[in-house]
Amino acid sequence: MKTGSMILAFCSLTLGLATVSPGQTRITVQVDQPGAAIRPTMWGVFFEDINFGADGGLYAELVKNRSFEFPDNIMGWSRILRSGSEGYIYIERYPQEQTNAHFLRMKVGKTGQGFGVSNGGFRGMGIQEGKDYRFSVQARLTEGGPMALRIELAGQGRRPLAEAKLEGFTSQWQKHTVVLRAGSTDARARLNLLVEGSGTLDLDMVSLFPVDTWKGREGGLRADLVQMLADLKPGFLRFPGGCIVEGRTLDERYQWKTTIGDPADRKLIVNRWNTEFNHRLTPDYYQSFGVGFYEYFLLSKDLGAEPMPIINCGMACQFNTGELAPMDELDPYVQDALDLIEFANGPADRGWGRRRAEMGHPEPFGLKLLGIGNEQWGPQYIERYKVFAKAIKDKYPDVQLIAATGSDATIFPNGPQEIEYLWSQFRKLKADIVDEHFYRRADWFLDNAHLYDDYPRDGSEVFVGEYGAQSIGVASPDNRNNWHTALAEAAFMTGLERNADLVTMSCYAPLFCHVDGWQWRPDLIWFDNLRVFGTPNYYVQKLFSLNRGDRVLPVAVAEPATTPDGKARFYASSVYDETSNEMILKVVNATGEPVRAIIQTKGAKAVGLQANVTVLASDDLNDENSFEAPRKIAPVESRIPLRSGEFRHDFRPYSMTIVRLMCQSR
């Protein structure tokens, strides 16, 4: 530890002691006994295309059904037939077999006041004043002409938000591009394509993107949404799901190879969340794979997060059909997994590594973690897991495999017994990492902050791969991201941190949610077509991640504060940051009363003269953040002066507090 430039108060812990009153809460941190290493992967994020997470969200494409490949090929589009115009539109097929099989044909007799087509985007299109939007289309003129296309971004007002014109169509398919600058803002704009001239014009891959995407990549990701992830500094990115990995049937499973290469050739499939919940039917939800595996790897790299793909293991979603690939037909599934590792890590001059290089990334992505299935259970899973594990470990012994333990034990058939069975198998198999999911009421998280204290430590690490406190019930449409749920998660996370020798990774689920396009709540980050805000749960995740530290420090809480019914609702965990030489203490006071506690840093030879304190709190457990008040519950920082390594601190009712204190151990 460097001491030269730091102001340290060398303290004898017998001096300046805070007086301890009977019954007073005491938090003792053993600074000179650093324990398990906290992995860089401890706090990560889990991305799934649910709630318009990718299409309509992270993927900045504003046109829905741009390639006319939805099963209802015209879904999302409507005809514009203004006074005096004559013509019709219909869907045509390319003569040759191809992934993008359909296109739109417009036969125009008279344009009158306007003839064309209109697209309403994903619950409207978010258009911002002064921003540029890149429109592109594949088009050809098959009859008549000359014809032109007037592109209009239409808002609620009479005047378009932006206009442009494309001309020069020929009998050959060609890509035409124009950039439009928006004169005003509208969260629910439409794209109108109005034809000039008479004849037949064919259109395909009709696209509109903001020019300002994340890192300015053309056809890229929504910058504001990625920024929210970047601010979390996640240790890993788990993708692409979730149940969408499994699909309702095996045909509808996620197949990474169909999600790379030219976006126009990526095979669209239904999104499994499309009609999953009767209470939130979303029949226009499809996966365009504009965000595919290449983009996920790139995003992981941008975020400084370990990529963690999850692959289908020959099992469709067991909450749906549970369709199984027979054991003697598993080879293609296993080969997909092996090829994926080659795509991520292989040399740039051959095989799947070459495909990666052709897409623009010759350097390997450094894949180290791979999930075998999402929420699978039963002996059928174990049989399949073994085949995958053998094949992958034989070829890539360094890739760590993640095994599933079904879903939350309370929601799948015979959950607790199944989980016990799966664990017993994984112990025999010496599985690297075992994934557990929790979607429970807030009180369960408060009651289970010590869940992992007594877990067997016999080889496999634990990944808490999905969790979120449900204010009403699992995936209830009435669930709220209120302060109660966030505080309960914070309490639970102190338990994850204290057990970092066993729990090496964790992430909240689901991640994103479009305010008009969701299926599942609660969710970490809410957005509409123009705005985004972090829930209180988001700030809890962020505080843990930004205060990750390197080693667990032992913490004891004496006389923890209790609720009126006698439940201990006061939690603490601590880590040491070896770069900044700080002890980081995390405290959750889940009682409705202020708690005056004594903090003792035991084994410290010297401490800083002040501590940095960050508090996340609200007096009302029902409080939430919103577009109107996005930081109603957000971290507030302050500094407190110190005279010694033992001091008193008042913890607010219903609060999470981080204390960072320069500390040198004996």
Task: Tell me how crowded residue 538 is: count the other CB atoms within 10 A of its CB.
Answer: 24
- 389, 401 contact by CB (below 8 A): yes
The minimum distance between CB 243 and ligand AHR, in angstroms, equals 4
In the complex with ligand AHR, the residue whose CB is nearer, 50 or 337, is 50
**Euclidean distance between CA atoms 50 and 62, whole angstroms:** 17
116 DSSP β-pair partners: 80, 194
- Enumerate helices (H) and strands (E) in the chain, giving the number of each: 10, 35
Q: Which amino acid is at 408?
A: D
Burial profile 174-189: b = 16 or more Cβ within 10 angstroms, e = fewer: eebeeebebbbebbbb
The minimum distance between CB 24 and ligand AHR, in angstroms, equals 41
The minimum distance between CB 57 and ligand AHR, in angstroms, equals 15
Q: Which of 152, 276, 323, 375 is catalytic?
A: 375
Q: Which two tokens stand for residue 119?
A: 């697209």
393 CA to centre of own chain: 28
Q: Is the dihedral of CA 422, 423, 424, 429 positive or negative?
A: positive
In the complex with ligand AHR, the residue whose CB is nearer, 323 or 375, is 375
- 186, 108 contact by CB (below 8 A): no
The minimum distance between CB 4 and ligand AHR, in angstroms, equals 49
The minimum distance between CB 241 and ligand AHR, in angstroms, equals 5
In the complex with ligand AHR, the residue whose CB is nearer, 202 or 375, is 375
* Helix spans in 258-327 (H): 293-303
**Euclidean distance between CA atoms 385 and 404, whole angstroms:** 9
In the complex with ligand AHR, the residue whose CB is nearer, 316 or 656, is 316
Give the CA distances from residue 473 to residues 277, 411, 485, 558, in Å, rounded to whole numbers and listed in that order. Answer: 14, 11, 12, 33
**Euclidean distance between CA atoms 159 and 444, whole angstroms:** 54
Q: Which two tokens stand for residue 442?
A: 């807030």
Q: Say what angle helices 293-303 and 331-345 make with each other, to 10 degrees.
A: 40
* Long-range Cβ contacts of 81-84 (<8 Å, 24+ apart): 81/115, 82/112, 82/113, 82/114, 82/115, 83/112, 83/113, 84/110, 84/112, 84/113
Whose structure tokens read 């439009």? Answer: 180
**Euclidean distance between CA atoms 287 and 290, whole angstroms:** 8
In this chain, which residue has its C-beta nearest to ligand AHR? 242
- 285, 273 contact by CB (below 8 A): yes
Burial profile 279-305: b = 16 or more Cβ within 10 angstroms, e = fewer: ebebebbbbbbbbbbbbbbbbbbbbeb
Is residue 375 part of the annotated active site? The answer reads yes
Q: Which two tokens stand for residue 540?
A: 């809890």
DSSP 565-624: TS-B-EEEEEEEETTTTEEEEEEEE-SSS-EEEEEEEETEEEEEEEEEEEEEE-S-TT--
The minimum distance between CB 588 and ligand AHR, in angstroms, equals 24
| Omega prior to 522 cis, within 30 of 0 | yes
In the complex with ligand AHR, the residue whose CB is nearer, 47 or 423, is 47
Residue ranges in contact with ligand AHR by CB under 6 A: 48, 50, 241-243, 374-375, 407, 466, 509-510, 520
In the complex with ligand AHR, the residue whose CB is nearer, 509 or 525, is 509
In the complex with ligand AHR, the residue whose CB is nearer, 375 or 582, is 375
Give the CA distances from residue 78 to residues 89, 107, 256, 264, in Å, rounded to whole numbers and listed in that order. Answer: 9, 15, 32, 22
In the complex with ligand AHR, the residue whose CB is nearer, 374 or 541, is 374
In the complex with ligand AHR, the residue whose CB is nearer, 38 or 50, is 50
**Euclidean distance between CA atoms 238 and 246, whole angstroms:** 15
171 DSSP 8-state letter: S
In the complex with ligand AHR, the residue whose CB is nearer, 239 or 343, is 239
Give the chain's length: 666
Whose structure tokens read 């409705």? Answer: 592
In a 3-state reduction of DSSP, which class is residue 352?
Answer: helix
In the complex with ligand AHR, the residue whose CB is nearer, 199 or 406, is 406
In a 3-state reduction of DSSP, which class is residue 222?
Answer: strand
In a 3-state reduction of DSSP, which class is residue 33?
Answer: coil
In the complex with ligand AHR, the residue whose CB is nearer, 48 or 295, is 48
Catalytic residues: 375
